[in-house]
Structure 1
Amino acid sequence: MSERSSGPRGAGTRERILDAAERLMAERGVAGVSLNEINTAAGQRNTAALHYHFGGRDGLLRAIMRRHGPWLRARHDELYARVAGSGGPGDVRGLVEVIVLPVAEYIGMGSSQRWAIRVWTSALAHPHLAIEEVESLVDLSLTRAGRDLVKIMAEGMPRELAVERLVVASQSALHVLADRAILEDAPESRRSPLPLSLVARNLVDMTVSALTAPVGAATREEAARILGRS
């Protein structure tokens, strides 16, 4: 079912449902909250309101992504264009910045933005999502940056290992930033975290190191045994 709205009143209902969904899905995970709970939290006595506007959980999730997509997409495009324009397709650091910096910057903008990043992190971690569905939740420039990184890494290791490293490193970075989003919304936290900008830059360094670390001899032997090549 496509998203629906019926004038200002319908648009207001739709926004209240999105607000409630962002908050609850951020707190409990995409699958950890029922649609009825979201409907109730949005102040809707009509139990069909969420289904009317979004059709269900998938439509709701995609609406959240579309709500926050324009800024992230523009920033991913900007950073990727900078790498491509520099004539440096082998610029690992620049490509990692495409992945890390927009998310870090976004969580510094407000609670709704932080909730969205936490929801995105939860959605991407779902094992039932096929790779095509994952890519549909990711901006084109982000996908291109990932493919460029795999191409670079595959020069020194089997492509399967390069893909695994990228997935693990990217998900790790995203989870680190999602955890930071929780701290940003916890004013009574007893922790004293580093400034967000420094966390982001340090995370870029760590991710670059993870992607470019030498492949150990034991790993190469295992790869040769399982994949049939070194």
Structure 2
Amino acid sequence: MTQDTPAPERIASVADRAFFEQGTENVSLRDILREAEQSNMSAVKYYFGSRDGLLRAVFRRRRARMSATRNVLLDRLEVEGRAGDVRALIEVSVLPHAQYLREAPPASDYARFAARMTPRVDYSSDDVDHLEPADQRIIRSLRHALSGLPADVVDARIDTAFQMIVGAFAAYEARREEGLDYGPRTLDALSTTLVDMVTAGLTA
């Protein structure tokens, strides 16, 4: 990233990395602006409205990266002829979360940040164009695969499924940080449990 990069993008990029490495509560706006080479300490308010606006911008960046990962997996499902398989679609939803959390440093609150922001996303809307491209593909494919159920039931289950997936990873992250020795012991175990439960819940 260079000086030619627009200031809002530089700030959001620095904040994204700092939050990932240190946790959202352990990074000051002053430190973010200093690293983004912003001399005006009001730049966050100017470009994002508030700290919460900056958090939303970081969330959008992370959703876009997750979408790119999921699109690769969805393309593979199409090649394999499994684009309408509910379990495979849920694996595409779950496994990138596990991978991102696996790569997060000890101080990160990556999953808890996602759980804090995800309730603001409506996965049950008839119009999914506001979602990231991969989420659009997953939801449309799930709706088609579950077309034997009432549409409102399907939409409610899909929204609940997305919220549950993020919440489960947030609980795992919190327990790991606090040294609590219960629940799924590994990310692989959690991922398998989530795929089993969400697939069963969607198709019940």
Query: What is the alpha-carbon distance in structure 2 between the residues aligned to residue 92 and residue 129 of structure 1?
Result: 16
Structure 1 residues 70 and 114: alpha-carbon distance in aligned structure 2, compared to 1, 3 A threshold? farther
Q: Give the structure 1 partner of residue 29 of structure 2.
A: 39
Structure 1 residues 172 and 202: alpha-carbon distance in aligned structure 2, compared to 1, 3 A threshold? same
Aligned residues: 194
Asked if 1:199 is matched to 2:190, the reply is: yes
Q: Give the structure 2 partner of residue 164 of structure 1.
A: 156
Q: Give the structure 2 partner of residue 24 of structure 1.
A: 24
Structure 1 residues 148 and 140: alpha-carbon distance in aligned structure 2, compared to 1, 3 A threshold? same
Deviation of residue 73 (structure 1)?
2.5
Contact 1:153 1:162 in 2 (8 A): yes
Deviation of residue 154 (structure 1)?
2.2
SS in 2 for 1:97: helix
Contact 2:89 2:138 in 1 (8 A): yes
**1:111-140 CA-partner distances (Å, limit 9, x unpaired):** 49953443332222138999599864x431
Letter in 2 for 1:170: F
Q: Give the structure 1 partner of residue 133 of structure 2.
A: 140
Q: CA RMSD in A?
A: 4.0
Structure 1 residues 85 and 13: alpha-carbon distance in aligned structure 2, compared to 1, 3 A threshold? closer
| Equivalent residues in 2 for 1:74-223, closer than 5 Å | 74-111=68-105, 115-126=109-120, 131=125, 136=130, 138-155=131-148, 157-184=149-176, 186=177, 188-192=178-182, 193-213=184-204
Query: What is the alpha-carbon distance in structure 1 between the residues aligned to residue 123 and residue 28 of structure 2?
Result: 22
Could you tell me the TM-score, scaled by structure 1's length? Answer: 0.66
Query: What is the alpha-carbon distance in structure 2 between the residues aligned to residue 113 and residue 133 of structure 1?
Result: 37
Percent of residue pairs identical: 26
Deviation of residue 76 (structure 1)?
0.2
Deviation of residue 142 (structure 1)?
2.1
Unaligned runs of 5+ in 2: none
Query: What is the alpha-carbon distance in structure 1 between the residues aligned to residue 78 and residue 102 of structure 2?
Result: 27
SS in 1 for 2:14: helix
Query: What is the alpha-carbon distance in structure 1 between the residues aligned to residue 103 and residue 15 of structure 2?
Result: 20
Runs of 4+ in 1 over 4 A off after TM superposition: 10-14, 40-47, 127-135
Which region of structure 1 is more displaced relative to structure 2, 37-46 or 90-99? 37-46
Could you tell me the TM-score, scaled by structure 2's length? Answer: 0.73
Query: What is the alpha-carbon distance in structure 2 between the residues aligned to residue 150 and residue 11 of structure 1?
Result: 38
Deviation of residue 43 (structure 1)?
8.0
Structure index of larger Rg: 1
Contact 1:18 1:64 in 2 (8 A): no
Query: What is the alpha-carbon distance in structure 1 between the residues aligned to residue 117 and residue 158 of structure 2?
Result: 18
Query: What is the alpha-carbon distance in structure 2 between the residues aligned to residue 165 and residue 199 of structure 1?
Result: 20
Deviation of residue 202 (structure 1)?
1.8
Q: Give the structure 2 partner of residue 226 of structure 1.
A: none
